[in-house]
Amino acid sequence: MKKIISVFVSAIMYAFVTASCGMIYEPSAQTDSTTTYTTEDLNNLQDFILTKETSGLEDKDYDLNGDNRWDSFDVGLMRKELSDIPTKNEEVKINIEVNGNTLTATLENNSSAEAFVKLIESAPLTVDMDDYGNFEKVGSLGTILPRNDEKITTQAGDIILYQGNQITIYYDENTWNFTKLGKIDNITQSELKEILGAGSVSVTFSTEKKSGIFDMINKSVVLNSGYTMPINGLGTYSLHGEECINAVKSAIKDGVRLIDTASAYGNEEEVGQAIRESIEELNIKREDIFVTTKIYPGTEMANPEESIKACLDRLDIGYVDMMLLHHPDKNDVKAYKAMEKFVESGEIRSLGLSNWYVDELTEFLPQINITPALVQNEIHPYYQENDVIPYIQNLGIVVQGWYPLGGRGHTKELLSDAVISEIAENHNVSSAQVILRWNLQKGVVVIPGSSNPEHIRENTELYHFALSDEEMEKINALDRNEKHDWY
């Protein structure tokens, strides 16, 4: 359902020209009028900022902040206004935890589903479920819910209420008089069977939107900011010019949806260009790509508002999904609080830190308002941070690892490690894939860097195998506390 808002603006006719800093116009008359905006308008505005294309927008007024141009400030204001309006009949989602996996499900719009939500919203409900009929897992709710039975042929992922007091998860077809509660999102029959396993299984249903839990099916994690971030991506450190543009476009073409850059890398313009071209060429949406950038200590953190705006201008993609402070600095609190203001305007969606450890976090966190959604540190099998990772995760903050493959001058040694090579051979994958999968199973987001299209593609193929507990322990034993960069 379209969300509609009304805001007062001054203008009834506009003359448009395209300028490098955005669309500039001069109102031909001044009058009070009421303009109705929808989510379609928000999409139009975001598309304009990316393409500067004015066709079809001649009669639109998207200058919400009155500065005589359309820019990312207007995007933030429009998004905020839209989010303030409640929407009727919004989809209701729940979480399902089973065998270490967190799935989401969309509920039906009926009294049974409403009663089920009330049952689990005060506290998660764990149900012991068993196989029945080779097509479902079933368990007792311990109470009776209202029924809305109808003849249904189930599909894999359907969540069914049976006899008012039993809940079932179907992994195959069956036709009977049931009440459908909902359906698990984005899962195939084979994936669901593998997750549920054979025999008895404990399944926990909850309504809370848990942050920090990796969803290996959708290859994503929910941040404490409420946004969803992919758990594997592309790092762009040392990539420049056409090499950078081609690498980012190759990654996006192969399904990568997380791109990491920084002001200090000197390639934000190339990254932004690659993203804009990919959106147009692949017919994907801006919101499908998660972009992280960073501001650097020294001059940038001393003048944070100017530095943040420069990052946004160089990227030129409407907004940034995540902005980090690149290192601790004497002005880091000042810079972070400046980033918080850009979150309020909608130009930055989530905030984070890079190269912050236990002592730094202990000192820093009490001085800010918005808890970081992510901390990005050096993490690889030779430098594992096994004390730092759980500390950060217990704060509700997601951990991301740079140099996951060892970094400059060390990658060859790490990929040739006998333990890792043996595990890779057992799974018929590369050593790089084993290391990246090890990170994911530790709850660490990975952003390996590469300009080689084959390596970029290989680094995304991490979800068709899993490391055993024994294999994880073997890699854990490789820790040397050997840092490969100074920070």
Neighbours of 6 (CB within 10 A): 11
- Confidence at 370, pLDDT banded by 50, 70, 90: very high
Which of 33-47, 122-136, 139-153, 205-219 is the least confident region? 33-47
Among the listed residues 420, 424, 430, the one whose alpha carbon sits nearest the alpha carbon of residue 460: 430
Largest interatomic CA distance in the chain? 75
Instruction: Specify whether the CB–CB gap between 301 and 331 falls below 8 A.
Output: yes
Strands 166-170 and 136-140: antiparallel
pLDDT for 36 equals: 67
* Helix segments in 234-285, DSSP class H: 241-253, 268-282
Catalytic residues: 265
Instruction: Count the neighbouring beta carbons within 10 Å of the beta carbon of residue 30.
Output: 8
pLDDT confidence of residue 34: 53
Distance of CA 100 to the CA centre of its chain: 19
Which pLDDT belongs to residue 50?
61
Q: What does the angle CA 332 – CA 334 – CA 335 come to, to the nearest 5 degrees? A: 65
Q: Give percent of the chain with pLDDT exceeding 70.
A: 86
Over residues 126-157, the pLDDT tens digits come to 999 999 999 999 999 999 999 999 999 999 99
Model pLDDT, residue 42: 75
CA 79 – CA 65 distance, rounded (Å): 13
Asked if 267 contacts 236 with a C-beta cutoff of 8 angstroms, the reply is: yes
Phi, psi of 12 (to 5 degrees): -130, -20
pTM higher than 0.85, yes or no? no
- From 232, 222, 258, 215, select the one nearest 437 (Cα to Cα): 232
